[in-house]
Amino acid sequence: MKTRGSKWRKSGFHWLLISPSLLFLGLFLVVPFVLLAVLSFRDVDSLMNLLPTYSFAQYKEIFTSDIYLGTIGSTLWVALVTTAICIVLAYPAAYLLVRSPNRKLRTFFYILLVSPLLTSVVIRTFAWIVLLAQNGLVNEFLLKLHLIDQPLSLLWNMKAVIIAYVQVMLPFAVMPIATSLEDIRPNLRQASMSLGAGRIRTFARVTLPLTVPGMISGAAIVFSLAAGSYITPLLVGGRLQPLLPLAIYQQVMQISNLPLAAAMSFTLLILVAVVVGLLGLIMKRWEAKING
Amino acid sequence: MARLPSAGASSGRRRRFSWLTALVWLAGGLVYLFLILPVFVIVLSAFSPEAYPQFPPAGFSLKWFSALLGSREWLDALWISVLLLIIVTPVTVVLGTLAAYAIARLDFRGRQALQSFMLSPLMIPQVVLGIGLLYVFTSTGLVGSLTGLAIGHVIVAFPYVIRSVGVSAANLDPRLEQASMSLGAGRVRTFFRITLPLLKPGIIAGAVFSAVTSFGEVSISLFVSAPSTVTIPVRIFNYIDQTFDPAVNAVSVIFILLAVIALMMIEKVIGLTKVM
Amino acid sequence: MSGIRIQGVSKHFGDNVALKRVDLEIREGEFFSLLGPSGCGKTTLLNMIAGFLEPTAGEIAIGGRDVTWLPPYQRNIGMVFQNYALFPHLNVFENVAYGLKIRKKPRAEIRSRVEESLAAVRLESFAKRMPHQLSGGQQQRVAIARALAIQPAVLLLDEPLSNLDAKLRKEMQTELKNLQRRVGITTVLVTHDQEEALSLSDRIGILGGGELQQLGTPLEVYRRPANRFAAEFIGQVNLIEARPLSDGQPASPGLLLFAAEGFETEPGKPLLLEAANEPSLKRGGPVKLMLRPERIRVSGEPRERGANCARARVADVSYAGNALRITAKLEGSGELVIHAPDPSFPDLPEPGQPLHLRWQPEDLIPLLPEAGRP
């Protein structure tokens, strides 16, 4: 049993190192979760006070209400559309990043990509308000060029939310796809062309399939971000947008119905988990096919 | 042997130009333009003398920046943000570095799951994190306190440190540590003399991302802060939501500047490609 | 009609001149090797024939058709890469069928051609496997099948066997040669392995410093290297600088007498060389003579004195199983490398052991002073 003992001794040190993090996360991540889950089963009275009883009432309310179901539906829809747009736009951006002829250009693109991520989401969202407001830049521009006579109302709708989402989340799609692109050995492309496939066909048959891992990673990240954002839709779409995270925020901040908010949170969480889990499964199948 | 017919000869140097490549570069360029548009807009607004931005710019003015410096509220928010930064960054970096290194070295079945767990705050909708912490803090009286905010920030910044130190740790050849121990240095000494210095790029990058994340954190802070512990992003949010103060533009410009500087620092010191 | 014609081709990468100027004609059905050290430009040239690079100047034609500006997918080439470049997400069948699918061949034809190609490389039963399930040699064979399935005008191979171990490489070389003979396709092989080039090719083009140093059959290239570069690159060589002796008569007519520089049979007595008289030697100045190590005969007993022989002592011995490589120091000065087949000696020679070396006049090959052209 000597090997067993020394293995434990070796890893004992490492477990020691990781224990503070485990403790911290356990206390401030796992515990709140569990408590939240329990909370979602509590009942409330008409004054939003917590009752000592437990039931499925909150969940029933969510899944029998047309409004809430509609909210869930549009949340999923918005997240899917955002993800799709981000993936499509990510390819040219990733292409530029990977095929830049020199390092300076590549670093430049990289900074363009990553620096917005390091600012706060309020700032990125705020910029869209400045752009799209009645007296914002876009309207100014269009008015100056006499393309319109009245300022357009570009904010306070779902389209504005999606545009803002795409701009905020696009970098998260570009980076994994760029990594995937880079991982493709260059002579796979050459092999395809030597066999008669032009650039477009080579992209469709060789490059694109081989970037599936990056695509899936990017999609997972963007989807979960889009499904869970509330700041952006609040500022750009107005409080009336039917989005689940927004509804949760309002339940907490304005209505103070914590159990309902908790139930909605878990609903959101499960929705995201299902989608991300599905994506993960696809990824696993793909890796098995390529690597065995 | 007859002379080969070659259409290219008469026209001289006929370079093979690809419309497709040009198209892709154009598309990519437009995407990057789209990405940078907000930054451009904010910079424009911050230096514009008017409350609303104009294009072409009507003039150049620094009055919003000086308004910032004169405002009590903004300076208070700055103080809180900086305080949090100073508390959160070291804590996150220490916790995260130890954890990332340990994960890299541990070898057991659940290792992947453990790493996913450490990275999970990234994937959990922040509204859910916010409400969870709010509930716990309300019960324990931490709500609205600096401690509570700090805890929230650490949770959100933690995955970034795990990621960047994780990359460094994965590239760290265990044989170097074995060599050190074979020469007589114990585990702890090896860790401080060999491991840590070699993890430096990841640690620095992790520290920078952690600091930046904390400085810009708003989704959770909105839930767990009180009027006395308002950070800059929360202040920005309130101002956008309720009033319209062009000084927000000035703050934003400063943010963006800090972000770019941070990135350039990392690039100079370590090289961005090694870290992400 | 699918020969390859390379006219006045050069390639510059900014200030870096990868290829100075190459004029070359590869005959239809020929197995042609581009041989040279790394960095000599051979892969660059191959990439230009394939269409992945454009020449800075010059023209390339395949089968009489000017392809200089055509992209690779319009040139009807088949290419095999050093690391196989099999599509990891397609199985063997789909990999081999790839080019045929692009050409929109009917299903039945694709099936039969793929099966044919796989049979040609003896991998019929591997059709459903994924690339990661194949060994290096198997992957390489699939790559060859894939290139041949489209029945291209030319077959281009970029160091295809260098990732294989020695034994497998030899087997693959034989297979490749037989395959090429059967199919009869114009083939260009890029390699730095001179043995490979010598054993497979109908003709070899030796590239060095961005230029063609010699063009010829394996026999020509080995026995009569055009210059020092070619001599040193192919096989091993002893290079002897010598000046002609006007006094002193050679043993037989038709020979010229030279005195070596740097080689002395005894201290003070330069090594005497008799070489066959030929046009390149008529000029009369100092010459460079090449002597292949396997041409030197070794014996334990002294023969006569005179030219083309010397006494020496063993300095170093390397045993390679099938041959001995002996470095011998002449009694006066200078070292010669000798290849003696096994078993030339009952026991391995010891350092310091005396040897008597001898060679024939025709074993001394004069080398041209600069990069000669055939």
Q: Would the CB atoms of B4 and C68 count as touching at under 8 Å? A: no
Residues of C in contact with B8 (CB under 8 A): 59, 66, 68-69
Residues of C in contact with A205 (CB under 8 A): 98
Residue A118 domain boundaries: 65-291
Provide the number of structural domains found in chain A: 1
Task: Output the domain CATH number for residue A202.
Answer: 1.10.3720.10
Q: Would the CB atoms of C61 and B16 count as touching at under 8 Å? A: no
Write the residue in C89, C102, C150 that is nearest to A209 by C-beta: C89
C152 → chain A, closest CA residue = A195
Q: Does B79 touch chain A (CB under 8 A)?
A: no
Write the residue in B99, B131, B158 that is nearest to A18 by C-beta: B99
Q: At what angle do helices A66-98 and A212-228 cross, to 10 degrees?
A: 140
Token code pair at residue A84: 């799709």
Whether residue C201 is contained in a domain is answered as yes
CA A199 to the chain's CA centroid: 31
ipTM over 0.90: no
Residues of A in contact with C85 (CB under 8 A): 185, 187-188, 190-191
Alpha carbon distance A183, A243 (integer Å): 37
Q: What is the pLDDT of residue C5?
A: 93
Whether residue A177 is contained in a domain is answered as yes
Token code pair at residue C4: 């390859």
Alpha carbon distance B46, B60 (integer Å): 9
Alpha carbon distance C25, C47 (integer Å): 16
Whether residue C372 is contained in a domain is answered as no
Tell me: pLDDT of B11 over 60.
no
Alpha carbon distance B202, B269 (integer Å): 11
Write the residue in C64, C68, C71 that is nearest to B8 by C-beta: C68
Q: Which chains touch A (3 or more CB pairs under 8 A)?
A: B, C
What whole-number percentage of chain B has pLDDT above 90?
25
Residues of C in contact with A282 (CB under 8 A): none
Q: Would the CB atoms of B16 and C71 count as touching at under 8 Å? A: yes
Mean pLDDT (chain A, rounded): 87
Which of A239-243, B10-14, B108-112, C31-35 has the highest average model confidence (pLDDT)? C31-35
What is the domain partition of chain B in residue ranges?
Answer: 22-61, 72-274
Of the residues C233, C268, C294, the one at which a domain ends = C233
Q: How far is CA A201 from CA A154, A195, A206, C98, C102, in A?
A: 39, 11, 8, 11, 8
Taking any CB pair shorter than 8 Å as contact, residues of chain B touching chain C are 4-9, 14-16
Alpha carbon distance C62, C259 (integer Å): 50
Q: Would the CB atoms of A227 and B135 count as touching at under 8 Å? A: no
A249-255 CB contacts, 8 Å cutoff, 24+ apart: A249/B127, A249/B222, A252/B131, A252/B134, A252/B223, A255/A48
Provide the number of structural domains found in chain C: 2
Alpha carbon distance A272, A82 (integer Å): 14
Token code pair at residue C300: 């334990």
Tell me: pLDDT of C277 over 90.
no
Task: Output the domain CATH number for residue C20.
Answer: 3.40.50.300
Write the residue in B41, B125, B129 that is nearest to A227 by C-beta: B125
Q: What is the pLDDT of residue C370?
A: 55
B98 → chain A, closest CA residue = A17
Q: How many residues comprise chain B?
A: 276
Of the residues C214, C233, C252, the one at which a domain ends = C233
Please indicate, yes or no, whether residues C66 and C187 belong to a single structural domain of this protein.
yes
Of the residues C180, C201, C233, the one at which a domain ends = C233
Looking at domain B72-274, its CATH class is mainly alpha
Please indicate, yes or no, whether residues C196 and C280 belong to a single structural domain of this protein.
no
Given a contact cutoff of 8 angstroms between Cβ atoms, the answer to whether C214 and C372 are in contact is: yes
Of A85-89, B112-116, C12-16, C285-289, which gets the smallest average pLDDT? C285-289
Burial class (CB in 10 A: 0-12, 13-18, 19+), B3: exposed
Interval C69-98: pLDDT, tens: 899 999 999 999 988 899 999 999 999 999
Cβ atoms within 10 A of the Cβ of A16, count?
A: 12
Cβ atoms within 10 A of the Cβ of C320, count?
A: 9
Q: Would the CB atoms of B8 and C61 count as touching at under 8 Å? A: no
Residue C121 domain boundaries: 4-233
Cβ atoms within 10 A of the Cβ of A63, count?
A: 13
Alpha carbon distance B149, A271 (integer Å): 28
Alpha carbon distance C139, C153 (integer Å): 23
Please indicate, yes or no, whether residues C243 and C301 belong to a single structural domain of this protein.
yes
What whole-number percentage of chain A has pLDDT above 70?
97
What's the pTM? Answer: 0.83
Whether residue A282 is contained in a domain is answered as yes
Across the A/C interface, how many CB contacts are shorter than 8 Å? Answer: 73
Q: What is the pLDDT of residue B153?
A: 94
Q: What is the pLDDT of residue B54?
A: 66
Whether residue A5 is contained in a domain is answered as no
Mean pLDDT (chain B, rounded): 83
Tell me: pLDDT of C196 over 50.
yes
Q: Does B136 touch chain A (CB under 8 A)?
A: yes
Q: Does A208 touch chain C (CB under 8 A)?
A: no
Please indicate, yes or no, whether residues C323 and C248 belong to a single structural domain of this protein.
yes
Alpha carbon distance B116, B123 (integer Å): 10
Q: Does A290 touch chain C (CB under 8 A)?
A: yes
The SS3 call for residue A137 is helix
| Interface probe with B: pick from A10, A88, A108, A118, most Cβ of B within 10 Å | A118
Distance from the C66 Cα atom to the nearest Cα atom in chain B, whole angstroms = 6
Whether residue C373 is contained in a domain is answered as no
